[in-house]
Amino acid sequence: MFRCDSNLKQVARGLRNGMTLSEQLLWSRLRGRQIQGIQFYRQNPIGVYIVDFYAPKAKLVVEVDGRQHLELDYKENDASRDAYLAGAGLSVLRFSNTQVYQELATVVTIIAKTLLDRINPAQLLISGNTYQPTHFLTDNPTSPLS
């Protein structure tokens, strides 16, 4: 784990209690190791930042951005934040609130594919048992492809 300012831990707790609707929706798909058996944390402090979702095993950060991130100041802040995280060896995926609301299945599929690209298959072992990854489109009972 990364070191962080102890004040950020308190701020992160507050953010976990006040997640946006799009963050809650995505969290419902990330929590409980639902994607490739990988643990995600929400509103997690990393260095001087708090990221929306973090999968330490994959060194992956997932951000859900509101409309304000289209403004120049936010774009500049996001670019410097992404550079900081990349310098720490982390990969960042960014999705808009609209993408999460309207294309959740696609967002989850992109995250799942990115996890597979970033993780050694040997890391998908859990408690000595071989983990069978969930294939979102074919193992999802609500999917028309099932």
For 43: left if phi > 0, alpha if psi spans -120 to 50, otherwise beta; the answer is: left
> Rounded distance, CA 12 to CA 106, Å?
27
Q: What percent of the chain has pLDDT over 70?
A: 65
Q: Where are the domains of the chain?
A: 6-139
Domain 6-139, CATH? 3.40.960.10
> What pLDDT digit, counting tens, does each position of 62-82 carry?
999 876 655 556 677 888 889
Quote the pLDDT of residue 72.
59
Quote the pLDDT of residue 1.
52
> What pLDDT digit, counting tens, does each position of 43-67 carry?
888 888 889 999 999 999 999 987 6
> What pLDDT digit, counting tens, does each position of 79-92 carry?
888 999 999 999 99
